[in-house]
Amino acid sequence: MLRKAGARLMQGNEACAEGAIAAGLRFFAGYPITPSTEIAEGLALLLPKVGGRFIQMEDEIASISAIIGASLAGAKSMTATSGPGFSLKQEGIGFAAYTEVPCVIVNVQRVGPSTGVPTAPAQGDVMQARWGTHGDHPIVVLCPSSVAETFTLIIEAFNISERWRIPVIFLMDEVVAHMREKVVVPDVNGIPVVERPRPQVSPDDYLPYAAGEDLVPAMADFGTGYRYHVTGLTHDQTGFPTTKRPEVDALARRLDGKMKKAAPHVTFVDELFADDAEVVVFAYGITGRAAAKAVRDARAQGLKAGLVKAKTLWPFPDEHVRRLAQRVRAIVVPEMNMGQMVREVERAAAGMAKVVGLSRVDADPITPDEILARLREV
């Protein structure tokens, strides 16, 4: 099965594939695109060894559709792509969010829009990951900054998606995806793996979209005698379409409420020297690594700097940033885009701390020195 536990050199995309298998992934459908291709390559080798299925589909829309179908049949499912493919998958992502089908969509970001620079790094898909598909919808977006974190965080992606029946976007970047670093692979038997809630009632009594207190309906595997209707149309508790105003309202509010209930359990943030910091960097993905170096260098020069590294981008860690803004002078937000998360930081900081962006959009990653210079200015 998987290669054994212990320290070894692993690529980010390889960690994504192996972590997904450890989380219980058994169905992958995809259409290759750099810089995500090694995920598909790895899973083409690994999935058959664990009794899973790998399918290279004819395009990206077919890929997202296939994983939704496989998930309805009970398999933990994933697809992987980059920006151009992520744009195509939006329709399916909306369907999965509305029909509450657990699935994981990996987007290894490269420079965009459109074909952009194949295949240099960027972080330009942050807002698309949240709002790429139309209509209000629940979504969780996780973002790793190292190979080791890719392995552990992709497992969280599956656990969150299964527990809450919410599609999870796993937002990587080209640097993290392609670099290799030493990873201490944990013993797979020791990794907590979560399964979706399944019905405790007989097929006759099953209401596929009736939810209990946690607002998450139990999900029956297709082919096990629980026959129900799945539609992208607004639906009632039976799964059949409705246009009745109270039912339309109830579904929108339940999905929003479910996201709010999930939020405290799915929002992960790491801190470095943040406790007594006067100026703080808010960063994510590969930029978080440059920021860690910048903060250490700043400390060595006597500047009380700290780092908040978001592993969850959506739901945005509002509360964390709000508390931070109460005690620091300024928050620097370096991003490989023209300023996407910086607006969320500004919103959460609500004027309590100065918020300053730092954009780099020339297809190279932001360096520690660039962040350090900005820290010294604010």
Partner 1 sequence: MRKEIRLSGTGGQGLILAGIILAEAAIHDGHEVIQTQSYGPEARGGASRAEVIISDEAIDYPKVGVPDVVLVMSQEACDRYAAQVKAGGVVVVDETNVKSVPEVQGARVVRLPITDIARHEAGRQVTANMVALGALVGIAELATPGATERAIRERVPRGTEELNLKAFGLGMERAREAFGAA
Among 69, 118, 186, 232, binds partner 1 (CB under 8 A): 118
Cβ-contact 12, 150 below 8 angstroms: yes
Q: What three-state secondary structure class fits 209?
A: coil
Question: Which of positions 325-364 make contact with partner 1 (CB under 8 A)?
Answer: none
Among 57, 61, 127, 179, binds partner 1 (CB under 8 A): 179
Q: Is 181 in the site for partner 1 (CB under 8 A)?
A: yes
Q: Is 84 in the site for partner 1 (CB under 8 A)?
A: no
Q: What three-state secondary structure class fits 341?
A: helix
Q: Is 180 in the site for partner 1 (CB under 8 A)?
A: yes
Q: Is 367 in the site for partner 1 (CB under 8 A)?
A: yes
Q: Return the range that interacts with partner 1 (CB under 8 A); candidates 5-13, 66-74, 158-166, 234-242.
A: 5-13
Q: How far is the CB of 191 from partner 1 (least distance, A)?
A: 22
Q: Is 94 in the site for partner 1 (CB under 8 A)?
A: no
192 pairs with which residues across the strands?
A: none
Q: Is 322 in the site for partner 1 (CB under 8 A)?
A: no
Q: Is 370 in the site for partner 1 (CB under 8 A)?
A: no
Judged by CB under 8 A, the number of residues near partner 1 is: 19
Structure token digits, residue 230 = 């799945």
Cβ-contact 109, 174 below 8 angstroms: yes
Scanning the chain, the segments in alpha helix (DSSP H) are 12-23, 37-46, 60-72, 83-88, 90-99, 126-131, 147-164, 174-178, 245-266, 286-300, 318-327, 341-349, 368-377
Q: How far is the CB of 52 from partner 1 (least distance, A)?
A: 26
Number of H helices, E strands in the chain: 13, 15
Structure token digits, residue 29 = 């459908």
Listed residue (268, 325, 332) closest to 295, CA to CA: 332
Q: How far is the CB of 38 from partner 1 (least distance, A)?
A: 12
Task: Give the nearer residue to partner 1 in terms of CB position, either 68 or 308.
Answer: 308
Q: How far is the CB of 17 from partner 1 (least distance, A)?
A: 17
Q: Is 2 in the site for partner 1 (CB under 8 A)?
A: no
Q: Is 175 in the site for partner 1 (CB under 8 A)?
A: yes
* φ/ψ bin of 199: left (φ > 0), alpha (ψ from -120 to 50), beta (otherwise): beta
Helix axes 245-266, 147-164, angle to 10 degrees: 150
Q: Is 3 in the site for partner 1 (CB under 8 A)?
A: no
Q: Is 365 in the site for partner 1 (CB under 8 A)?
A: yes
Site string (265-304) toward partner 1, x via CB under 8 A: ---------------------x--xx-xx--x--------
Distance, CA of 374 to chain centre: 28
- The Cα 119–Cα 237 span in angstroms is 45
Task: Give the nearer residue to partner 1 in terms of CB position, either 266 or 291.
Answer: 291
* Interface positions with partner 1 (CB under 8 A): 7-9, 118, 175, 178-182, 286, 289-290, 292-293, 296, 365, 367-368
